[in-house]
Amino acid sequence: MKISGSGNDFVLFNNLDGRIKNRKNLAVHVCKYKYGIGADGAIFLEKSRKADYRMRIFNSDGSEAEMCGNGLRCLIRFIHEQKISRKKSFLIETLAGIYKTKIDYPDVSISMFLVKKPELNLTVEIEGKSIMLHSLNTGVPHAIIFVEDIEKIDVKKYGPLIRYHTIFQPFGTNVDWVQVIDKHHGKIRTYERGVEDETLACGTGIVAGVICGAMFEKFISPVEIIARSGEKLHVSFSPDFSQIYFKGGTKLIFEGQWINR
């Protein structure tokens, strides 16, 4: 089944029986455009001893991600569409921790959290220019850069230069450019690690961008963010960031059987 979370698309598999062993190889094949289904990543629903279910997510390049906000929203929609459970809320285990989720069809909300203490006001040198950014981990690492106009950003050029910068080694980072419209509205563009390109939406990036903005009093809860896809996603949070909620729509693209011949 293929589901899109605000333009961030995934191929989802029911692997509760553990039949699929080589997830990395399958992810690379199904995510290829022209030769596969085409997607930003592949997600596998699996059993968990700590939560209701476990999510394993592999990017289109075969690398495994610790967490993916839009991917998790799509997984909950998948559980609903496959009639795997009649519940409306779930605890989902990921490599970044356990997340509380709730479906209000077709929207899905996630209770998010900061995995590590943010590193603010970092300076990196890119082609002789100093760029101020902030590093937040909302399940995966994100470098947040505030700009006046995201339309003027060359994401394909600067994304890889920051993503692979020595300051973020050995694992690298996702890169997000955030434009503040007002205290409750903003826009974002993201270069995603593992996809190695700009994506139409990134859930963990949106949350990281909003929370980072709130730390500098640029945003006040609730915040509506326009992703590159044009869709609007919502982030709300408590003053001390102990409670963070991320909500957005999901869209079922198709369901079928993968045949690799």
pLDDT in tens, 55-70: 999 999 999 999 999 9
Tell me the one-letter amino acid at 163: R
Residue 13 above 80 pLDDT?
yes
Q: Are 193 and 202 in contact (CB under 8 A)?
A: no
3-state secondary structure at position 66: coil
Number of neighbouring beta carbons within 10 Å of residue 32 = 13
Catalytic residue among 31, 68, 74, 212: 68
Asked if 13 and 45 touch (Cβ cutoff 8 Å), the reply is yes
Other CB atoms within 10 Å distance of the CB of residue 258: 11
Domain coordinates in residue numbering, the chain: 2-114+249-254, 119-246
CATH label, 2-114+249-254, candidates 3.30.1490.150, 3.10.310.10, 1.10.10.10, 2.60.120.10: 3.10.310.10
pLDDT digits (tens, 9 = 90+) for 23-52: 999 999 999 999 999 999 999 999 999 999
Whether the pLDDT of residue 192 is over 90: the answer is: yes
Say how far residue 73 (Cα) sits from the centre of its chain. 9
pLDDT tens-digit readout, 87-144:
999 999 999 999 999 999 989 999 999 999 999 999 999 999 999 999 999 999 999 9
pLDDT band at 261 (very low <50, low <70, confident <90, very high): low
- Which residue in the list 31, 74, 202, 212 is annotated as catalytic? 202
Spatial distance between the Cα atoms of 142 and 201, rounded to a whole number of angstroms: 14
Q: Round the average pLDDT of the chain to a whole number and report it.
A: 96
Per the CB < 8 A criterion, the answer to whether 75 and 87 are in contact is no
Average pLDDT over residues 200-214: 98
Which pLDDT score, from 0 to 100, does residue 130 have?
Answer: 95
> Is 119-246 assigned to CATH 3.10.310.10?
yes
With a pLDDT cut of 90, the percent of the chain lying above it is: 95
Separation CA 8–CA 250 (nearest Å):
9
Least confident of 14-23, 63-72, 251-260: 251-260
* 202 has catalytic annotation: yes
> Does the pLDDT of residue 187 top 70, yes or no?
yes
**Residue 68 designated active-site:** yes
The yes-or-no verdict on residue 223 having pLDDT over 80 is yes
| Euclidean distance between CA atoms 244 and 100, whole angstroms | 11
Do the domains at 2-114+249-254 and 119-246 have one common CATH topology? Answer: yes
The two three-digit tokens of residue 110, written as one number:
């996630």
Q: Are 67 and 140 in contact (CB under 8 A)?
A: yes
Cα–Cα distance for residue pair 163/172, rounded to 1 Å: 5
Q: Quote the pLDDT of residue 258.
A: 85
When pLDDT is averaged across residues 242-248 and rounded to a whole number, the result is 97
Cβ-based neighbour number of residue 185 at 10 Å: 14
Q: What average pLDDT score do residues 140-161 get?
A: 97
Residue 40: phi and psi, rounded to 5, are -75, -25
